[in-house]
Amino acid sequence: QVQLVESGGGLVQAGGSLRLSCVASGRTFEYLAMGWFRQVPGKEREFAAAIHWSGLRRDYAYSVKGRFTISRDNAKNTVYLQMKSLKPEDTAIYYCAAKEYYRDFDRYQRYKFWGRGTQVTVDS
């Protein structure tokens, strides 16, 4: 089992920045693929970013590419999502997720472990 706890969400003005953190516990973190997803009420959960366990591969949704950066610190069992140039359409609950293999990194159905989410609200 893996427990994931997100933090760092909040209210920010359009154009601002936030950094989300996700701390993992329960099993070896360093070999897990990690992803960030987001969801608006009434809509399907949407892929934002993913990172291979090695950190050598990172992938982003087109909507966040160039503005968001995913990173990880395996020594701290933590994955981050640095968000810049935030837009009102980035408003959502952001979830951290983990799985064993990196394939299908953008499909939320493939992730086995989930955090409870952290709210990000971008005010125009």
- Residue of 19, 8, 10, 28 whose CA lies nearest to 113: 28
For 37-75, how does the pLDDT look when each residue is reduced to its tens digit (9 = 90+)?
Answer: 999 999 999 999 999 999 999 999 999 999 999 999 999
Instruction: Give residues with Cβ within 8 angstroms of 56, minimum separation 6.
Output: none
Q: Count other Cβ atoms within 10 Å, centred on residue 44.
A: 8
Angle at 86 between CA 109 and CA 64, to 5 degrees: 40
Instruction: Give residues with Cβ within 8 angstroms of 53, minimum separation 6.
Output: 30, 31, 32, 33, 34, 74, 102
Would you place residue 30 in the very low, low, confident or very high pLDDT band (cuts 50, 70, 90)? confident
Average pLDDT over residues 2-22: 97
Q: Would you call 116 helix, strand, or coil by DSSP? A: coil
For 113-124, how does the pLDDT look when each residue is reduced to its tens digit (9 = 90+)?
Answer: 999 999 999 998
The answer to whether 14 and 28 have CB atoms below 8 angstroms apart is no
Q: Would you call 110 helix, strand, or coil by DSSP? A: helix
Question: What is the DSSP code string of 8-51?
Answer: --EEEETT--EEEEEEEESS--TT-EEEEEEE-TTS--EEEEEE
pLDDT score recorded for residue 92:
98
